[in-house]
Structure 1
Amino acid sequence: MAGNSEPLSARAKLAVTAGKAAAAVSKAAGRGSGSVIGGKVALRVDPDLLGALAQHLEVTLVSATNGKTTTTRLIAEALRAAGPVVSNALGANMPAGITSALSGGGDARYGVIEVDEKYLAGVARDTDPKCIALLNLSRDQLDRAGETRMLAEKWREGLNGTKAVVVANADDPLIVWAASACANVVWVAAGQEWKEDAWSCPSCGGVLQRQGDDWGCGECGFRRPSPSWVLNGDYVLDPHGSAWPIHLQLPGRANKANAATSAAVAAVFGVPPQVALERMYQVQAVAGRYDVVTYQNRELRLLLAKNPAGWLETFSLIDGPPAPVLLSVNARGADGTDTSWLWDVDYTRLAGHPICVLGDRKLDLAVRLEVAGLEFRVCESLDEALQVCPPGRIETIANYTAFQDLRRRVGN
């Protein structure tokens, strides 16, 4: 946590310089921003660099299966009301990317850091955060991340004893289980649309009983804690019962939930809800997500959905028929190579929309849509899909690397 920070050691300074040089070379060669390779080089020179860079910052860590990049942006925007912020805003959320982001922090007072779920406990050890925001846990990249209950247990063990204020979603039983071992938890009723990973009690394995928003285990007594912050429609209720309006340029219920959590985090740093929520309005798009772009005289809205919970939330953003929908799925390393999750998504919610399918795994997706009884066209490219889509704005939904492919294609 921020305190009496010592100047960077000669080795740490050398590591930062080496990392920036590697990043510059990578960027000049057209291999992306260079943030990951820069961080890897810097950590090779000084393995303790992340902790050294974080020592002068008041750090917030944000982790979840869905929404962490957006919530990181919202929190960073809110905290700028109190001082300069450094953040890994583009979503490079493993130790190398985080180190690279913090090395450019300069005179920042706050560090707002998105962290990949697998690395949360380690990054928390290195950065001594003042606050940790835990949003949700659901199935995602099972070949890489493992089963959700195991991940919740790793969080529970890894965060046990943390001095940080943990801002956690009271509506997600896995998050509650993970956070319950922490000494100082602020519970937020942020909602949970996707419940398919939370039918059994993470504490004892019994069946969870649900009634409205409430849930609990009849066997061991593990139950939903009482929240002090509540998302209520277009408002967030603070611990004093005051209702603050949420005005966002980002669409959907999920982003209102992200804003409610962000307001609770901002309050830990003394930023009032009204100020925090007003500043969040500045966020229009997050690393291309929600952007509306014009390509070949067509308007495309770019939506990212990486797993069943994310697809469910994204479907709720799409207006009724006849808006055409373009779906693109890859299964590269960053996506997870297992596409069995497609069978957990209720694609019947797209019934009545003209659908085009593309991406590396377009045939896997086509089989899933066929079983769902939907009409669709399989296309070899974005340009072909645009030629067969009927008039109107096109909603494009893609998983991670497919989303990056689309952004490059449309020049976003």
Structure 2
Amino acid sequence: MADSTQPLSARAKFAVTAGKAAAAVSRAAGRGSGSVIGGKVALRVDPELLARLAGHLDVVLVSATNGKTTTTRLIAEALRAGGPVVSNALGANMPAGITSALSGGAEARYGVIEVDEKYLTTVAEDVHPKIVALLNLSRDQLDRAAETRMLAERWREGLQDSKATVVANADDPLVVWAASSSANVVWVAAGQEWKDDAWSCPACGGVMHRPDDTHWACGECGFGRPAPTWVLSHGQVIDPHGSAWPIRLQLPGRANQANATTAAAVAATFGIHPQVALQRMESVAAVAGRYDVVSYQGRDIRLLLAKNPAGWLETFSLIDPAPAPVLLSVNARGADGTDTSWLWDVDYTRLAGRPVAVIGDRRLDLAVRLEVANVDFGVYDTLDQAIAQLPAGRIEAIANYTAFQDLRRIVGN
């Protein structure tokens, strides 16, 4: 367990109080949870507050392009077998949101923190994590995020002097290159379905060879896949001793099994047995509204989040078989990234043969993409209009970040 720190100073206590007050005002005004504005106010009062709040915690940082919110939740549930946990469960993953979350963790033993890819090294410098979990890197928010190799290089530089144990996905070349600078790495064979950002070697720029879905190596410099000690295989976690532990999640899909495998590896570093960790993960039915099935206008609607090409690819593997109706919603607000060119990287031909309804701020951009993919669809101004035109059956609603939040507000989730 982390060493105890001195009690918070008067300034730090005032910063926490001011942040909570600002968050309460934001919630009362109907502007969301208030976690971000609360954290911003608190850090303005005490710029060192994040480090102070994390001082007594065993901190786990989780970063990735996809899956970090769910993996954070799974790790938090597993670690509760060892003591109280504080976590940014709602996904506010930049310093302000993290500060706000940790302000409620005075009695916690563990801090399980999701971190935006751009802020990983900055946050790590403040909180001195015991574990850093790295899941994947792919293109996302092209107007604000750095090119994927640049992000990997930033991670690599930030981790090379860290004392943290890095739990990293051995199947993502960018993650492997970033994690390889660390002195202590636990490799997890979690898989990588989206490969379009990993065809060139991050070490030398050479062509990456993939003889099968498992192995990869650079043909120029020899940089290649490390041998994993934790493996996801046929719905089971294989631990470093070769023992197999079944995954029985309520959350759907192979991607969530991969998230659970990483979570089990993280929990094991704190002495929590894989069987115990995986059993605790079974209680997670939804994560911040994701995967929830809601009733609205007499219809069952399953809410699915897909923020980038890799996320859409994983989500398509989850939806009910054709001809189940599908609702698509895309925005391009600040939290989404304003560049929608990524729509052309998504294989929407997977929706062929289904009734498809399109809504959202950028519904016309999406309509053009679907037209090119030869997918039949209708464009609607509102959710209610779309539902009225979709045939019977559970509706699979797939939306990017702010569009997903819009849907949750409309359906009361």
Q: TM-score, normalised by structure 2?
A: 0.99
Count residues with an aligned counterpart.
412
Aligned to 2:9: 9
Question: Counterparts of 1:64-143 in structure 2 under 5 Å?
Answer: 64-143=64-143
Q: 1:291 Cα shift?
A: 0.1
Q: Specify the SS of the correspondent of 1:71.
A: helix
Whether 2:299 is the aligned partner of 1:298: answer yes
Aligned to 2:290: 289
Separation in 1, partners of 2:229, 2:238: 8
Task: String of CA shifts for 1:134-186, please: whole Å, max 9, x gaps.
Answer: 00000000110121001000100111111011000000000001100000000
Aligned to 2:317: 316
Q: After alignment, is 156-165 or 253-262 more displaced? A: 156-165
Q: 1:27 Cα shift?
A: 1.0
Task: String of CA shifts for 1:266-287, please: whole Å, max 9, x gaps.
Answer: 0011100000000000000000
Separation in 2, partners of 1:227, 1:111: 26
Aligned to 1:407: 408
Aligned to 2:354: 353
Whether 2:169 is the aligned partner of 1:174: answer no
Letter in structure 2 aligned against 1:399: N
Letter in structure 1 aligned against 2:231: V
Task: String of CA shifts for 1:85-105, please: whole Å, max 9, x gaps.
Answer: 000000000000000000011
Aligned to 1:265: 266
Q: 1:30 Cα shift?
A: 1.2
Is this contact kept in 1: 2:166–2:186, CA < 8 A?
yes
Q: 1:106 Cα shift?
A: 2.4
Task: String of CA shifts for 1:96-129, please: whole Å, max 9, x gaps.
Answer: 0000000011200000000000000010000000
Separation in 2, partners of 1:386, 1:330: 19
Q: 1:319 Cα shift?
A: 2.1
Letter in structure 1 aligned against 2:179: A
Identical columns (%)? 79
Letter in structure 1 aligned against 2:81: A
Separation in 2, partners of 1:321, 1:382: 21
Letter in structure 2 aligned against 1:322: P
Separation in 1, partners of 2:234, 2:358: 34
Q: 1:9 Cα shift?
A: 1.1
Q: 1:71 Cα shift?
A: 0.2
Aligned to 1:230: 231
Letter in structure 2 aligned against 1:183: A
Separation in 2, partners of 1:96, 1:318: 35
Letter in structure 1 aligned against 2:367: A
Q: 1:4 Cα shift?
A: 3.3
Letter in structure 2 aligned against 1:250: L
Letter in structure 2 aligned against 1:73: R
Which residues of structure 1 form unaligned runs of 5+?
A: none
Aligned to 1:218: 219
Letter in structure 1 aligned against 2:38: G
Separation in 1, partners of 2:38, 2:374: 48
Letter in structure 1 aligned against 2:19: G
- What is the alpha-carbon root mean square deviation over aligned residues? 0.7
Aligned to 2:160: 160
Letter in structure 2 aligned against 1:146: A
Letter in structure 1 aligned against 2:287: V
4+ residue segments displaced more than 3 Å: none
Task: String of CA shifts for 1:298-326, please: whole Å, max 9, x gaps.
Answer: 00000000000000000000122110000
Q: Specify the SS of the correspondent of 1:214.
A: coil
Q: Specify the SS of the correspondent of 2:69.
A: helix
Aligned to 2:329: 328
Task: String of CA shifts for 1:229-278, please: whole Å, max 9, x gaps.
Answer: 00001101000000000000000000000000000000011100000000
Q: 1:353 Cα shift?
A: 0.7
Q: Specify the SS of the correspondent of 1:327.
A: strand
Aligned to 2:396: 395
Letter in structure 2 aligned against 1:197: D
Task: String of CA shifts for 1:314-340, please: whole Å, max 9, x gaps.
Answer: 000012211000000000000000000
Q: Specify the SS of the correspondent of 1:142.
A: coil
Is this contact kept in 1: 2:322–2:353, CA < 8 A?
yes
Separation in 2, partners of 1:135, 1:349: 25
Separation in 2, partners of 1:263, 1:134: 14
Separation in 2, partners of 1:25, 1:357: 35
Is this contact kept in 1: 2:121–2:159, CA < 8 A?
yes
Whether 2:158 is the aligned partner of 1:150: answer no
Q: Specify the SS of the correspondent of 1:113.
A: strand
Separation in 2, partners of 1:411, 1:106: 32
Whether 2:34 is the aligned partner of 1:34: answer yes
Separation in 1, partners of 2:356, 2:124: 43
Is this contact kept in 1: 2:200–2:208, CA < 8 A?
yes
Is this contact kept in 1: 2:294–2:411, CA < 8 A?
yes
Letter in structure 1 aligned against 2:91: G
Is this contact kept in 1: 2:320–2:396, CA < 8 A?
no
